[in-house]
Chain A
Amino acid sequence: MKDLIDKLIQEKLAREAEAKTRRHFIKNCAQGIGGLALSSIFAGCDPLTTAPKKTQAAFSERDLNPLATLAPPYSSKVKSVIYLHMAGAPSQLEMFDYKPELQKFDGQDCPQSLLEGKKFAFIKGTPKLMGPQAKFKQEGESGNWVSDYMPHFKKVVDEVAFLKAVHTDQFNHGPAQLFMHTGSARLGRPSIGSWATYGLGSANQNLPGFVVLTSGGNTPDAGKSVWGSGFLPSVYQGVQCRSKGDPVLYIKDPDGVTRDLKKSTIDAINKINKQEYLKYADPEILARINQYEMAYRMQIAVPEVMNINNEPENIKQMFGVEPGKESFANNCLLARKLVEDGVRFVQLFDWGWDTHGNVRSGSIDMGLRNKCREIDRPITALLLDLKQRGLLDETLVVWGGEFGRTPMQENRGNKKMAYKGRDHHGDAFTMWMAGGGIKKGACHGKTDDIGFSGIEGKVSVHDVHATILQQLGFDHEEFTYEFQGRNFRLTDVEGEVIKEILA
């Protein structure tokens, strides 16, 4: 027993030490000019042997390149994450959570017992239950249910693991999206992507570590803070790459300025900055030298990776891309390319899933079908394409919204609405994960007969976060950042890894 405890303690210590001081001496200071500058400055660029021991404490690779990679505390297969967020909250009842019983109650008043103590965004008085508007079939060897809104998806149903009873305590888009991405409904916390990039860095030195792609004509309700870095340094926030205009703001050289000219400019700047360093010995200057180098490389790499035109036809066809447009299909293809190039975290937001039934585009039987059609082929293609390139094993794909929708038909303003709609519902909704370390074809959690609340395998948003972090090689309880004298975690004080869906 004693030695067991001691062993545990030793390991814990080692980890804590690592977590606290992420400073470990410069490994690769030879990145382009910046590096050369360094090497010339620190005799042979080898602080370990030349400079006094203290160098190791004083300098870190991260001082020069904040995105320098760090090893995860624990072994993990997953190298990258692709998070597909359907902003507005898709209806689980028309996509994956099949409720034949609900059909029976269609049109009947919702039992009061369910409504007591519940808060809804728009539903007033006693709403009526509404049966599933889609037809369902069991697909694949797993025999998991998929609706006819997603005809292509059945091809990959055996790749994914469903979470049928996810719950959140937020029922308004803004707060719920924040909660889903930062672990808190209030602003100021870092997003999952920022945590991941902060914890692991990013291998490709020509691309941002955390890329955000939006479609559906709008950014998410909660705004840029869903990919913000909160109290983490802003370098870890998501970089929004746009399929229209400059992919990254100011990445394009001014008209009339050639690449060579830009290169000479940066050479000149860095040359002078190096003299500056010799005078002030301020490592910030070395960092700046590095960053200008990387900026130059990014200017080539980003437009390249963001260009889908030279993908082969069959791939374009499989994803159903529309080059030049801003579409979810394009973003899925981009996501694959980015992951292929070693980007750590790719976040997709598709806006327009808020199906209240107040307008045609927001109706369960029409608008929702259109949205489903827009994602069905691209998502299926994304999983297949990752698979055939051997990337699916090392990429974690997560799909979901900020909450689900009610089994009741919405009756906003206490009257019948123009179209069939469902209100916001946080008690039980469906998410799925696929890829690295995920159990293929698994299905965890179960909702009651009308899909109102979970009765088995309920998981919280924190649990989902804990699981994502675990797949990236972190223990969500140990992965902390000290801010205002307190250690913060993505999962705050909760969260439990959902082992049931892990391979």
Chain B
Amino acid sequence: MDVLKQLLGRLHPLLVHLPIGFLIFGLLLQFLDRKKKTYTQLIPVAYFWGGLSAIAACITGYLQYLGEGYGFDTIKWHLWSGIATALFSFLMYFKLSGVKNFSFLTKVPIIMLSTIFFILISFTGHQGGNITHGEDYLVEPLPNSVKSALGIETFEAKEINLTEENWEAAQIYEDVIHPILNNKCVSCHNPKKAKGDLLLHTPDAILKGGENGEIINPKNASDSDLFVRMKLPMDDDNHMPPEGKTQPTKEDIKLVGAWIDTGNPFEGSIKNSGLNKELFSSFFSKKDNLDYPDIEITAASQDSIITIEKTGIHVDLISKSSNFLSVSCINKPDFTDADFEILLAIKSNIARLDIGNTKVSDNIFKKIALLPNLTILKLDNTSISGKNIKEIANLKNLKTINLTATNFEREHISKFSDFPSLQNIYLYKSNIKTQEIKTLNKGQISIDYGGYELPTLPTDSIVY
């Protein structure tokens, strides 16, 4: 029995299309037929079958509601309008098939009925759609601009991307405060569900406040609910956002506070807000100090990784959140230029290459040049002299080269200035005696020759 019930229930999505079909067809005929009445016989039939199938739809619909346990609130409109549609179709049927008993029908102009009917059907249909596909299913594909134009609020997480360069110019509200509120608060304080009658999606709304009045007391964060509620300890009932919801970081809160204290400006840049850099530094994007290029790439094949690791070369994912690899010969000191070939199978995944303490020669650079995404290169404790170093000047992601304890020659240093994004070079214990070139490319590249010393101090020998 249960099974049958469920089965019928699940027929609903299928059945509903019958009434829609019939009835629309009916309305269509009516429209075409408004001048020369040739289909008068036909139209009622359409409505009659429409009505029948509508009833079937209603029943199956009801079963589905029971079976899949939708909340009643979710479906009530659809349910009632569905039933209404069913009845209405018979009403139309009776009217058009001119049944005498329902004489009152004759008084109402058919055109009006048809229009109401059309609206009713579309409404019912739409409701159904919402239940199965979700409220914003229809409008989802629309670009946000259009959506907001349509008055449909959108709450995609807004990223805060400040950098050393742009932070002063960035808009204090639009680029920082708004995203914070948007990501942490607006999901509950928005036109759809205005918890505590409070909206936080627009400046006006924020200034308007909620059921307990205004939430900002200008230039006084400690007396502004917007700030205070977030600052309250987690276990305090008044703490916002409620326990279990995504919480703002302490930096977020601090910033909102500071923003209120400067009179919560909605316009203007961070610079003219006068707030100091410290408040924002934690929002600066960390992208530029990653150990790998900031791009998405496909994962390397496990087979090739297995094959490579069989030779004793160590291969690791740099992190589970990226497909870049770190390759190291820590367990393979006998690695030579020839062994490099095997790495080409994963060449675009290699971001970090450690072939320090191996037997590689200067010919290795030709091959290293084949690793487009190489970011960190360790060649320390090898016999490298650097004569082919320019071979890898093409590596646009290369940030660090470690040449500690190599035979690197002074004459090759200048070649580094052709390296697009190089930042650090380590030349401790290389063949370079003088250290006059400390930076290249206007300080973009810094060179560390090491050789630090700690001269003896008199205190070193005083024992108390």
Contact = CB atoms under 8 A, between A and B. Distances in A.
Nearest to B402: A390
Contact of B320 (A2, A72, A205): A72
B157 A4 contact: yes
A502 B281 CA distance: 10
A29 B249 CA distance: 44
A499 B282 contact: yes
B285 to A, nearest CB: 13
B330 interface: yes
Nearest to A19: B320
B331 A387 contact: no
Nearest to B450: A388
A55 to B, nearest CB: 13
Interface in B112-163: 134, 136, 154-157
Interface stretch (B31-39, B225-233, B265-273, B301-309): B301-309
A71 B459 contact: no
Contacts of B331: 203-206
B320 A387 contact: no
Contacts of B187: 1
Given A204-B331, A341-B330, A387-B448, A499 B251 contact: yes
A73 B303 contact: no
B454 A389 contact: no
Contacts of B404: 388-390
Contacts of B290: 75
Interface string A343-365: 00000000000000000000001
Contact of B310 (A45, A77, A381, A473): A45
A299 to B, nearest CB: 16
A27 B459 CA distance: 54
Given A204-B331, A390-B404, A27 B302 contact: yes
Contacts of A437: 289
Contacts of A148: 459
B463 A370 contact: yes
Interface string B304-344: 01100111101111111110000010110000000000000
B155 A1 contact: yes
Interface in A295-328: 314, 317-318, 320
Contact of A75 (B155, B315, B321, B460): B321
Interface string B450-464: 111110010110111
Interface string A472-503: 01000000000000000000000010011011
Interface string B424-464: 10101000000000000000000011111110010110111
A75 B319 contact: yes
A151 B459 CA distance: 8
B250 interface: yes
Given A76-B319, A499-B282, A387 B328 contact: no
Contact of B424 (A1, A72, A151, A390): A390
B214 interface: no
A387 B452 contact: yes
B380 interface: yes
A441 interface: no
A27 B306 contact: yes
B362 interface: no
A127 to B, nearest CB: 24
Interface in A368-382: 369-370, 373, 377, 380-381
A59 to B, nearest CB: 13
A155 B454 contact: yes
B358 interface: no
A15 B306 contact: no
Contacts of B450: 387-389
A318 B452 contact: yes
A46 interface: yes
The size class of the interface chain B forms with chain A is: 35 or more
A154 to B, nearest CB: 11
A342 B402 CA distance: 16
Contact of B318 (A75, A151, A369, A387): A75
Contact of A73 (B311, B320, B454): B320
A306 B292 CA distance: 33
A45 B306 contact: yes
Interface string A72-94: 11111100000000000000000
A246 interface: no
Contacts of B155: 1, 4
A203 B291 contact: no
Given A152-B457, A155-B454, A473-B319, A75 B292 contact: yes
A112 interface: no
Contact of A389 (B305, B311, B321, B380): B380
A48 B318 contact: no
Contacts of B315: 27
A73 B319 contact: yes
A28 interface: yes
A15 B321 CA distance: 9
Nearest to A148: B459
B400 interface: yes
Contact of A27 (B249, B305, B319, B330): B305
Contacts of A49: 303
Contact of B302 (A4, A48, A205, A367): A48
A388 B452 contact: yes
Contacts of B310: 28-30, 35, 39, 45
A63 interface: no
Nearest to B158: A4
Contacts of B459: 148, 151, 373
A384 B460 CA distance: 18
Nearest to A384: B452
A204 B330 contact: yes
B460 A74 contact: no
Nearest to A48: B302
A370 B464 contact: yes
Contacts of B451: 388
A421 B338 CA distance: 64
B178 to A, nearest CB: 15
Interface string A29-41: 1110001000100
Interface in A60-74: 69, 71-74
A370 B449 CA distance: 33
Contacts of A377: 454, 460
Given A1-B187, A35-B310, A203-B314, A152 B424 contact: no
A73 to B, nearest CB: 5
A370 B463 CA distance: 6
Nearest to B291: A77
A35 B154 CA distance: 56
A18 interface: yes
14 contacts: A1-B156, A4-B157, A30-B310, A49-B303, A71-B316, A75-B291, A75-B318, A320-B460, A341-B330, A373-B460, A380-B454, A390-B380, A499-B249, A499-B251
Interface of A: 1-4, 11, 14-15, 18, 25, 27-31, 35, 39, 45-46, 48-49, 69, 71-77, 148, 151-152, 155, 203-206, 314, 317-318, 320, 341-342, 365-367, 369-370, 373, 377, 380-381, 384-385, 387-390, 393, 437, 473, 496, 499-500, 502-503
Which 5 A-B pairs give the minimum distances between C-beta atoms? Answer: A388-B450, A28-B309, A71-B317, A30-B310, A1-B155
Given A73-B319, A390-B428, 4 more contacts: A27-B306, A28-B310, A384-B452, A390-B424
